[in-house]
Amino acid sequence: MMAEYSPEYVGTVTRYVFVESPSMTPGELALRAYEASEGVLIKETCFGLQVTGDPESVDRLIEEIRTFDPSHIFVKDRGFPPGDPRRCRANLGGARPGYLGHEREFRILRYITRGLEELDRRGEEAEVPEEPAPPVREKKPKLDIKRLQELIETEES
């Protein structure tokens, strides 16, 4: 028989705050965020913060957090509240599901930072000289029949 489910943190939103900055660590970010938190739940992580609270308070806090280091702080929504036993690695062990995706994009953040700074520098003249990249739908090369044969033979041996 299926058990009943009573959710926690109903009506709140949770957001991740990532910091990839040469001048600010997640610890410093957390300290400054606590000062401005006004009742929003803040959890420090290795990459930044998780903030949880009612939508208006979280929006206000995020707006303030972004001003600390605008081009090095990145924010995204999270579906689960912090420490949820279904996601928290304290219960599951290993990396939290979703962490590997973050890790992959984290490596690209420095290029995005560069883009944001460059557009800021150009200001109003930030017209894109070239059109946005046209739709790219590359066809993957088909598997060569000889290669397929090799794969089958390797598998069989």
Partner 1 sequence: MAKVFIYPATSLILSDLVARFGHKPLGAALGIRERIQTAGVDSPPLQITPEEPKRGLKYAAVEVPSGVRGRMAIYGPLLEEAEAAIIVTDADLAFGCMGCARTDELILFSLRQSGIPILELKYPTNEEEGVQFVAAVKKFLAGLENGGEA
Under DSSP, is residue 146 helix (H, G, I), strand (E, B) or coil? helix
75 binds partner 1 (CB under 8 A): yes
Sign of the alpha-carbon dihedral angle for 81, 86, 91, 96: negative
DSSP 21: -
Shortest separation between residue 105's beta carbon and partner 1, angstroms: 5
User: Residues with Cβ < 8 Å from 47, sequence gap 6 or more?
Assistant: 16, 18, 19, 26, 102, 106
Among 67, 123, 124, 128, binds partner 1 (CB under 8 A): 128
Shortest separation between residue 153's beta carbon and partner 1, angstroms: 26
Residues forming the site for partner 1 (CB under 8 A): 2-7, 9-14, 16, 18, 66, 74-81, 84, 86-87, 97-98, 100-102, 104-106, 108-116, 118-119, 126, 128, 130, 132-138
